[in-house]
Chains A and B, each alone.
Chain A
């Protein structure tokens, strides 16, 4: 609130003409406030803020609500032209509309230095986001330094510098926790795994050209026992390193070409009675992974294909709807089958375009799909995704903010908060505020901020 102010001088006596707010008292109601634990899907983020003089009161059930209330309070404090900090007497009851409000960062297409991740956790907290979906590895690189399988990053990372050590990972998790942000890692398989094959021989399916191996590799090899031995050990580590109840297991965009070319795979298909339906093989693999992860008492999130391809899923599976075509129908299908859903499809923020595209993100209404009230309740939130093909630390912050803020309000605020003109004013203001807090959020439109970014 006060750090950026140009008026700030040590020992300076402020003008005391107005009544002074001396204190904000914070009261946590629950006997289990959750101070030393991790935020969860079911955590309470509600808070009640009463601003009167001389003492303002912030009440919340759990610490997570207090964090949200502190953020709100910080936004109510403003500075006048003479350097006085003011806040209007007010009373606020607030709670999030959706419990899962996430940002996806991709650290495989481009490595993101720790500083960049931490800065964005700060920005997320300014926008009341509460989930970091860490898409940590993929085809291009494997920056996660595994304790059980160090060769994965030794061979699969872009370079020895382009890795996240266990210390780095702990730091991200704790930094997030202190901001009430859950860290859900995604280890996407069986597709999107090229980089895994560098450090783990025989994990990926060898592709064939006619009768000979072609030298290239495809998705994880679903027919070998060694695959499941590896996954069992690997996910044992992941389950203990990442404290959240959920792990994202991916399962998207599995190309069947390589499996089709491999004679041993085809033999297996025959034995299993899958015919030529490779979706069945994919589901066979996925189910075994899901069971492995369940055995570690973790819940799982998966991309929609796993559901679309009819794998057997536990009832508390969270399905992430990402395909832009017909996502409305997909939401109906997923919730109609009784599964929890989160929405990402209309919020692919890596898809940049000229102009004020925040408006289209803001105008999405997640519950606008054919379905019963019961179904609507199964949509627990959504995620703004910033895939990394064209993004790294040089452009991440301005690309994400304030565009993601539009998604942040859609997921927190009430359904009827939809007026674009009003949102524009508040968003522009919020953008200037983020600038003064050191977040290089890009402009919404023509104009200026009293405190501009300093530039390098």
Chain B
């Protein structure tokens, strides 16, 4: 199969080349129409193969009379404009429109529930139905978020003939996501990502029906988040306090841009580890490490034994809770290195006092539990990395545990244990897209089955979804987009589509096609394998 990775011996043999050509021709024949990514739950093309054409000058999106939302609904008003642009941007340069036998004049959109100005949530309904017939195009959805998903699907169904005519084949689509939480993590601490890069990523997430932007905004290397309460944090902790920060207005823009695409923004302020950059702007926050009896001059995790720590955390997270509207905050809690705590005599004394012995996971949990209570007091729920659960901290029953370690323990085992304990789980372990390797590694990501672990149906129900992670050690705006897309698309389909959608050959053809569509939409998505697109990046 052409989709197989070439051997280490430089290049595949001629057979692979032939198969690749055949698949390319097949892909070209399919065209953009009929190759929706991610694959909808149910699709029924009309048996007659009828189609209608779309005239850019006359086609429009409109609210159906029955719709509970109408003009003034910013989410859909703006989506209508966006999708019109995506569909017909190529038409602008042409003078005459192609004559069109059976034009479809509009897509009517009907949303059952009112509610346009709120934020999407874990429980938002994203289901929709698309009914494409020669005399009517209808999109119906329970909520505006479903309408957004349906508009995206619609935009992928429209094809273009060689003579330039836009058309859409008659079909019925009934669709909804398999998992409610389909996320993408970006890391803006290891490398600063300019606002434009984040916004563009949100666009492409929407094309892939991702609905959660997990913003790992600060970490050890830098603190780009401009805090209103504690301006010194970014002043002293950002790579550059002027050029490498996210102002309050930047953050607002990201949140609103995401909302208009039905994407939740879950901010992660990871503590008590991964906090070196917090130190310069918050003296006394981090634990001072010792070398023997003397201060070494270096710092470790947040100091869990000081009252001032919890005062700071309270004020800081009060701001964060107000700034980020989603119900959930991600609190991190991963990879806490105990070395510094172990070296500090005051910490050791505290451990004695508390009866923790020399079990530093108890100290870690002590901090985490207080943090979680603080967050709860602000009416927020939380997501934590798996260590918080592994190390036995007492967490609320509605805590979401984020499984990220591939081994020790194997992630399938971890999923079993987390759900057995009654917590909801998010899977990321097999989806670390920053771990690049030679060849078509999207296939490994695609073949992951999130529910393949030992557990009861009730346990499986607790898996609410997963996230593709793009950690930033080696990634910034120069390589973010090609490294993310189309590889993250494999995760997007795994989380949206039916569990039975697993055929790699079929996925290859559709994903390669979708990649060409991404290029046409101006996204710098890298190739899956040898081949070409009608629109090449930086070319024509």
Which residues of chain B in 483-540 are interfacial with respect to chain A, using CB atoms and an 8 Å cutoff?
Answer: 483, 519, 522, 524-532, 534, 536-540
Question: Could you give, for residues 6-50 of chain B, a 1 whenever the CB lies within 8 Å of some chain A CB and a 0 otherwise?
Answer: 101111111001101100000000000000000000000000000
Question: Could you give, for residues 313-356 of chain A, a 1 whenever the CB lies within 8 Å of some chain B CB and a 0 otherwise?
Answer: 00000000011100000000000000000000000101111111
Asked whether B532 lies within 8 Å of A455 as measured between CB atoms, the reply is no
In angstroms, Cα B205 to Cα A54, docked, is 56
In angstroms, Cα B10 to Cα A387, docked, is 8
Assuming the A-B contacts A159-B534, A352-B436, A453-B478, are A110 and B527 also in contact, with contact meaning beta carbons closer than 8 angstroms in the complex?
yes
Residue from A140, A351, A441 with most neighbouring chain B CB atoms (10 Å) = A140
Asked whether A392 lies within 8 Å of B527 as measured between CB atoms, the reply is yes
Question: Could you give, for residues 434-452 of chain A, a 1 whenever the CB lies within 8 Å of some chain B CB and a 0 otherwise?
Answer: 0100001111011110101
Which residues of chain A in 366-411 are interfacial with respect to chain B, using CB atoms and an 8 Å cutoff?
Answer: 387-395, 397-399
Asked whether B529 lies within 8 Å of A389 as measured between CB atoms, the reply is yes
A113 at the interface (CB under 8 A from B): yes
What is the CB-to-nearest-CB distance from B1 to chain A, in angstroms, rounded to a whole number?
14
A141 at the interface (CB under 8 A from B): yes
Assuming the A-B contacts A110-B532, A140-B530, A390-B527, are A453 and B477 also in contact, with contact meaning beta carbons closer than 8 angstroms in the complex?
yes
In angstroms, Cα B222 to Cα A354, docked, is 22
Residues of B within 8 A of A441 (CB): 478
B13 partner, pick from A141, A253, A448, beta carbons under 8 A: A253
B191 at the interface (CB under 8 A from A): yes
A348 partner, pick from B10, B190, B474, beta carbons under 8 A: B10
What is the CB-to-nearest-CB distance from A122 to chain B, in angstroms, rounded to a whole number?
14
Asked whether B524 lies within 8 Å of A456 as measured between CB atoms, the reply is yes
B435 at the interface (CB under 8 A from A): yes
Asked whether B14 lies within 8 Å of A194 as measured between CB atoms, the reply is yes
In angstroms, Cα B538 to Cα A191, docked, is 31
What is the CB-to-nearest-CB distance from B539 to chain A, in angstroms, rounded to a whole number?
3
How many B residues have CB within 8 A of the partner chain? 60
What is the CB-to-nearest-CB distance from B187 to chain A, in angstroms, rounded to a whole number?
10
Residues of A within 8 A of B354 (CB): none
Asked whether A445 lies within 8 Å of B474 as measured between CB atoms, the reply is yes
Asked whether A389 lies within 8 Å of B6 as measured between CB atoms, the reply is yes
Q: Which residue of A lies closest to B440 (CB)?
A: A390
A162 at the interface (CB under 8 A from B): yes
Question: Could you give, for residues 172-216 of chain A, a 1 whenever the CB lies within 8 Å of some chain B CB and a 0 otherwise?
Answer: 000000000000000000011010000000000000000000001
Residues of B within 8 A of A251 (CB): none
Asked whether A442 lies within 8 Å of B8 as measured between CB atoms, the reply is no
What is the CB-to-nearest-CB distance from B129 to chain A, in angstroms, rounded to a whole number?
35
In angstroms, Cα B14 to Cα A147, docked, is 27
Residues of B within 8 A of A134 (CB): none
Residues of B within 8 A of A445 (CB): 473-474
Asked whether B530 lies within 8 Å of A456 as measured between CB atoms, the reply is no
Assuming the A-B contacts A111-B532, A448-B244, are A394 and B478 also in contact, with contact meaning beta carbons closer than 8 angstroms in the complex?
no
Asked whether B522 lies within 8 Å of A390 as measured between CB atoms, the reply is no
Residues of A within 8 A of B531 (CB): 110, 140, 158
Q: Which residue of B lies closest to A451 (CB)?
A: B243
In angstroms, Cα B13 to Cα A387, docked, is 14
Asked whether A139 lies within 8 Å of B538 as measured between CB atoms, the reply is no
B240 at the interface (CB under 8 A from A): yes
Question: Could you give, for residues 442-478 of chain B, a 1 whenever the CB lies within 8 Å of some chain A CB and a 0 otherwise?
Answer: 0000000000000000000000000000001111111
B437 partner, pick from A116, A216, A353, A356, beta carbons under 8 A: A353
B164 at the interface (CB under 8 A from A): no
A454 at the interface (CB under 8 A from B): yes
B538 partner, pick from A109, A194, A348, A393, beta carbons under 8 A: A393
Asked whether B438 lies within 8 Å of A350 as measured between CB atoms, the reply is yes
A84 at the interface (CB under 8 A from B): no
Asked whether B524 lies within 8 Å of A353 as measured between CB atoms, the reply is no
In angstroms, Cα B436 to Cα A353, docked, is 6
Assuming the A-B contacts A139-B17, A322-B10, are A440 and B478 also in contact, with contact meaning beta carbons closer than 8 angstroms in the complex?
yes
Asked whether A115 lies within 8 Å of B476 as measured between CB atoms, the reply is no
Residues of A within 8 A of B539 (CB): 111, 113-116, 161, 393
Asked whether B526 lies within 8 Å of A390 as measured between CB atoms, the reply is yes
Residues of B within 8 A of A393 (CB): 536-539
B529 partner, pick from A390, A397, A442, A453, beta carbons under 8 A: A390
In angstroms, Cα B539 to Cα A390, docked, is 18
Which residues of chain A in 98-151 are interfacial with respect to chain B, using CB atoms and an 8 Å cutoff?
Answer: 109-111, 113-116, 139-141
Residues of A within 8 A of B532 (CB): 110-111, 141, 158-159, 162
A398 partner, pick from B21, B196, B221, B479, beta carbons under 8 A: B479
What is the CB-to-nearest-CB distance from A7 to chain B, in angstroms, rounded to a whole number?
14
Asked whether B10 lies within 8 Å of A452 as measured between CB atoms, the reply is no
A218 at the interface (CB under 8 A from B): yes
B369 at the interface (CB under 8 A from A): no
A255 at the interface (CB under 8 A from B): yes
In angstroms, Cα B9 to Cα A322, docked, is 10
In angstroms, Cα B239 to Cα A448, docked, is 7
B482 at the interface (CB under 8 A from A): yes
In angstroms, Cα B9 to Cα A397, docked, is 24
Asked whether A448 lies within 8 Å of B478 as measured between CB atoms, the reply is no
B70 at the interface (CB under 8 A from A): no
B63 at the interface (CB under 8 A from A): no
Q: Which residue of B lies closest to A356 (CB)?
A: B474
Residues of A within 8 A of B10 (CB): 252-253, 322-323, 348, 387
Residues of B within 8 A of A109 (CB): 530
Residues of A within 8 A of B478 (CB): 397-398, 435, 440-443, 453
Residues of A within 8 A of B482 (CB): 394-395, 398
A455 partner, pick from B13, B196, B538, beta carbons under 8 A: B196
In angstroms, Cα B434 to Cα A445, docked, is 13
What is the CB-to-nearest-CB distance from B359 to chain A, in angstroms, rounded to a whole number?
32
Residues of B within 8 A of A350 (CB): 438
Q: Which residue of A lies closest to B190 (CB)?
A: A446
A443 partner, pick from B13, B476, B536, beta carbons under 8 A: B476
Q: Which residue of A lies closest to B536 (CB)?
A: A113
In angstroms, Cα B435 to Cα A158, docked, is 31
In angstroms, Cα B17 to Cα A388, docked, is 13
Q: Which residue of A lies closest to B13 (CB)?
A: A255
In angstroms, Cα B485 to Cα A456, docked, is 15
B197 at the interface (CB under 8 A from A): yes
Residues of A within 8 A of B6 (CB): 389
In angstroms, Cα B537 to Cα A453, docked, is 18
Residues of B within 8 A of A158 (CB): 531-532
**Top 10 A-B pairs ranked by shortest CB distance?**
A113-B539, A395-B482, A398-B479, A139-B17, A158-B532, A448-B239, A455-B477, A395-B526, A442-B479, A440-B478
28 example contacts (A-B, Cβ-Cβ < 8 A) are as follows A109-B530, A110-B527, A110-B531, A113-B539, A116-B538, A139-B17, A140-B531, A159-B532, A161-B536, A191-B14, A255-B14, A350-B438, A352-B436, A353-B436, A354-B435, A389-B12, A391-B527, A393-B536, A398-B482, A442-B475, A446-B473, A448-B239, A452-B194, A452-B244, A454-B194, A455-B194, A455-B196, A456-B524
Extra 13 A-B pairs, beta carbons < 8 Å, given A390-B527, A394-B527: A116-B538, A116-B539, A139-B14, A194-B21, A354-B435, A356-B474, A389-B11, A389-B529, A398-B482, A399-B479, A442-B476, A443-B474, A456-B524
